[in-house]
Amino acid sequence: MAWVHHGLGLLLVLLLPTVPASSPGAVIRINRAALNYVSDVGKAPLQRALMVMVPPCLDWSGEMLQAIKIKILDVHVSHLDLKFIADFGLHLMAKANFTIKVFRIPEPLELTLPVALTADAHVAQGPIGTPMISLSTCSPLFSPASVLDGSNSTSAMLLVLVQKHIKAILSNKVCLRISNLVQGLNVHLGTLIGLSPVGPESQIRYSMVSKPIVTDDYIALDVNAVFFLLGKPIIPPLAATSFELPLSVDTTGAMVSVGLSQQLFNYVLLLLQKAGTLNLDITGDLSSDDNPLNTSVLGQFIPEVAQQFPNPMSVVLKVQLGATPVVMFHTHNATMSLQLFVEVLAVSSNSDFQSLFSLEVAVNLSLQLSVSKVKLQGTTSMLGDIRLAVAASNVGFIDVKHVHTLVGSLLQKPLLDHLNALLGMGIALPSVVNLYYNSPEVFVYEGYVVISSGLVYQR
């Protein structure tokens, strides 16, 4: 049933929420607004699914046995409604009109047959950590058929016979078609456990870790985020704490509410640190008039550099993380702290690198978060001044004030550009193919963020 892929798939594939004790997590709620959207977009696919084949009807009333050919010309779903069933799953109610052509002799006959369809679907945790739907009940209720052309020449006995035949066939086929499509949906939902890239050598994988919580207003599930580097899972240094999305966070007007723990963000940064993607080299250019990163400029306040390099040589700042970056969430405020180790190297005459001195640098950044389609993206800006201290020196005494003025200004822009390019690539949020967040808003709270968003399915 294609509507399931557009509808319940759209609804349930995002139902991914808290986390096992060993992994950071997220809590995701699907609200009533999502059901309304699914009901709207699900009508056309449901109509196509209800176009079933009807075998000929055998008429024994005449002098000889006749096989009357019957064909469904059209199905129009006039009403489709989904509701939550607390502690169970979903309830479907639909109304459809079947336009049916009966190839009687001497002239064909067209009928319209109204059908009211109800079904209950149980939402559970599948064995591979994805949502699983099972059809619990399905009941089509048929109203009397009416002749479209208003002809009174139709035999009442024949009309009763044809209606009885059509209802018997549809009673079985409609629910069987729905059941088959629900099974197909479970295969589709299995794509939730697929790996999504974080960087060239790292990935993220989501999976459910507990059965869904179903209320009259929403479905919520707990999701586990596992990160991989070179195909191996990254184990967080500390056991994860339990994360719950407070009921006081009112996003009921949105289709989906995604709560992401602060610990999950720090887990992402741990992965990026281990992958080495947060490190960078900043190189001076002797031919540039506005880049003072060379031995000539350093020699003006470090005499030993001037003695060792009488001719100007390029200088490289090799920037590495000294500790795992830390993200902190406070209401309406997100920050990131970096502890950097910066080694200052000079290119010697034989093209080798010579270490001049090294610095310990502390940087505080303001972090702004946004969502694009299925990715959470970040942008950083400086929060206060860079703080640095000399860690080691191979060129004698170094005046920190002079180093701060030179290195601090040269470090800031490349560092921000590098971080923003990296964070701008985004981290994949729980989703399936062709399903996107629509008009998302990101709210920062104490210890977590909430993405409040609509949903859109695009092929």
pLDDT at 113: 93
Most confident segment among 243-247, 287-291, 311-315, 394-398:
394-398
Number of residues assigned to the chain? 459
Of the chain, the percentage scoring pLDDT greater than 70 comes to: 89
Residue range(s) occupied by CATH 3.15.20.10 in the chain: 201-457
Residue 20: pLDDT band with limits 50, 70, 90: very low
Q: Is the pLDDT of residue 18 over 50?
A: no
- Summarize the confidence of residues 410-438 as an average pLDDT: 89
Q: For residues 289 and 293, what is the distance between their CA atoms, to the nearest angstrom?
A: 10
Listed in order, strand segments (DSSP E) in 8-51 are 25-31
Most confident segment among 225-234, 365-374, 400-409:
365-374
C-alpha distances out from residue 338 to 21, 163, 415, 444, Å: 27, 74, 11, 20
- Summarize the confidence of residues 74-101 as an average pLDDT: 95
Q: Is the pLDDT of residue 349 over 80?
A: no
> Can you tell me whether residue 34 is helix, strand or coil?
helix
Measured between its terminal Cα atoms, the distance across the chain in Å is 16
pLDDT at 327: 95
Tokens 């469904």 found at: 72
Q: For residues 410 and 433, what is the distance between their CA atoms, to the nearest angstrom?
A: 42
pLDDT at 395: 93
Which tokens go with 382?
A: 């400086």
Listed in order, strand segments (DSSP E) in 284-434 are 315-321, 326-330, 333-347, 353-372, 375-382, 387-393, 427-428
The answer to whether residues 249 and 259 touch, using CB atoms and an 8 Å cutoff, is yes
pTM exceeds 0.75: yes
> Can you tell me whether residue 313 is helix, strand or coil?
coil
CA-nearest of 129, 80, 143, 72 to 101 is 72
The answer to whether residues 26 and 258 touch, using CB atoms and an 8 Å cutoff, is yes
Residue 336: pLDDT band with limits 50, 70, 90: very high
- Summarize the confidence of residues 327-352 as an average pLDDT: 91
In this structure, of 123-137, 143-157, 172-186, 260-274, the range with the lowest mean pLDDT score is 143-157
The answer to whether residues 51 and 75 touch, using CB atoms and an 8 Å cutoff, is yes
Q: For residues 105 and 381, what is the distance between their CA atoms, to the nearest angstrom?
A: 80
Residue range(s) occupied by CATH 3.15.10.10 in the chain: 8-191
Which tokens go with 320?
A: 């590495």
CATH label, 201-457, candidates 3.15.20.10, 3.30.1660.40, 3.40.47.10, 3.40.50.10420? 3.15.20.10
Q: Is the pLDDT of residue 102 over 70?
A: yes
- Structurally, what CATH architecture does the domain formed by 8-191 represent? Super Roll (3.15)
